[in-house]
């Protein structure tokens, strides 16, 4: 499931890049920030349907807050924070895939999300470094 999930995530990231870059290049960073803020809520949302312990809930909410902060900082201060936020979420996705984090999801979702996040992190970094 890793290969297909990761391929799906990478393809969706390329589609998202074309979707925000071509028609709205001047607003691409804002679109990426909004989506990153939304992405921060995915695992805490999944946690609501489960009987997880307080530690898992605290970890999910803490990481969600950090990712959300990356979205805000990326708009308010410097776009490289968006890249950092997406990369951090991609690492968190990987933790779900290798079962280091107890929040359950479908098996294909964490690698798809991780691939998406890493590709988008690269795009956000590229946008941040452009003159």
pLDDT at position 22 is 66
pLDDT at position 1 is 59
Question: Distance between CA atoms of 86 and 37, rounded to whole angstroms?
Answer: 10
- The residues, ordered by sequence, that sit 6+ positions from 105 with a Cβ below 8 Å of its Cβ are 43, 46, 96
Asked whether the CA dihedral 37, 40, 42, 46 is positive or negative, the reply is: negative
In the chain, domain spans: 2-129
pLDDT at position 49 is 87
Asked whether the CA dihedral 86, 91, 95, 97 is positive or negative, the reply is: positive
pTM here is: 0.91
Helix (H) or strand (E) holding 18: helix 2-24
DSSP letters, 42-104, are HHHHHHTTS---HHHHHHHHHHHHHHHHHHHHHHHT-THHHHHHHHHHHHHHHHHHTTSS---
Listed as ranges, residues in the chain with pLDDT below 70 are 1-2, 22-23, 25
């Amino acid at each position: 499931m890793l290969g297909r999930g990761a391929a799906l995530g990478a393809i969706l990231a390329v589609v998202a890049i074309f979707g925000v870059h071509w028609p709205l290049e001047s607003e691409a960073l804002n679109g990426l920030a909004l989506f990153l803020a939304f992405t921060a809520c995915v695992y805490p949302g999944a946690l609501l349907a489960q009987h997880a312990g307080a530690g898992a809930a605290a970890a999910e909410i803490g990481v969600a807050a950090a990712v959300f902060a990356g979205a805000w900082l990326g708009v308010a201060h410097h776009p490289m924070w968006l890249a950092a936020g997406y990369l951090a979420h991609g690492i968190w996705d990987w933790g779900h895939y290798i079962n280091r984090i107890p929040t359950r999801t479908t098996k294909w979702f964490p690698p798809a999300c991780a691939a998406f996040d890493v590709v988008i992190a690269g795009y956000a970094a590229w946008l941040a470094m452009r003159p």
